[in-house]
Chains A and B, each alone.
Chain A
């Protein structure tokens, strides 16, 4: 297996964090992984993205011009990266902040109102976790439980956050699974 994913949004939405969770989970599952942030002169509120590669072989380029997956938390990210996704790939769209669906018909589209779902889980800040869960639900790239275990480990000092993030991941995962099931029918 070899999968390249771009995760993108506004600075502050936590795209770098969910990228790290994905890479960390991949490493724990014995995969080769890279995590590469776009580190231009970014500022809070500006766009922000990272590329994660998971593979069962040593990874060459840590940067991808044609990823297998995209998680877009805001409209500029969808505009910028939608056309780069490989046919057959997965695009997760945060419809809370993106007022259009992807025009692509050759990819699996998972549309999730991530901010609303996150608020229901206890914090609007967990929207990133909803989208990561949705991506995993649609792709099964890494085990959801592995990601949850890492969240538990990373937020050990803040048990309340663990609870919220676990809920957000689970809700996203279910939405991702449902969308994929619908696509198969």
Chain B
């Protein structure tokens, strides 16, 4: 069985050209953003009606790329607009925030939603470290310590203190605590072999959301599975998630046209803003703990940005086409990677909201029924 997540970046797609990061917020249009937030939340509520299994969003700072400085606020909105769908925070940038507060917010969401939270805890892409003034060289250490602290904050029955390297609390006793026992399922990003192995060690779900190529994803997912087995457990397919930009239209050509323009805007304008800042951080710190990891990221990402829509379709990293075509694309990716959750992103770049919704409806009617039981 394959599950489908409806993911939203909540972009602000009105700039003409690629700005540098951080982007001056005089370029932000609050009225349009208000309308967008309403539509975006409506889209996520619609995802439940249309049969998606999860709905998800994430955290970014200082950029039109995504307007959720704290995804938990959107999570809270979703607790009021949905009843059954899993609410996936993908997620708090843990090393940048107070881990106890993250634990508290997630606990609130889990209880408010009746136990539907998927607790993604994310290390954060390099530029976010500039945003909050945290040393990126410490990101792994902080991340690991904070995860331990979050889990304890959720599960310790008695108040406790935490004397950590990066975090110190004399006493912690969060109210509320989560509904799901022992705690909401964890999900970590698996964009590198290091992070994939880490996710397996922590028995978390793994998400490869920047899909550069199917082989790259397979490499990481294999490391995840292998590491898990060495540690004595077999991850179910539902532990493995990949993220794919998605557009379904009546014909392949129409879909390529729409998503092609969306991808162009997405890469050329929205995500290029962070590129310079990311490079500063990656070159100027030990955000990546090994030189290989650093090099891999830089070369792979550089190549990936400039692909055409046809390249991406051929590589199998996006879902784009008529319903039949998309069904086959999903079959391919499930077969090659063995994943159990596909995270779809429909609002890509500047694709108009009406087209996003049309595409969602088509997906629900004519794709979902044929791929659920893969």
Q: Do A and B make up one complex? A: no
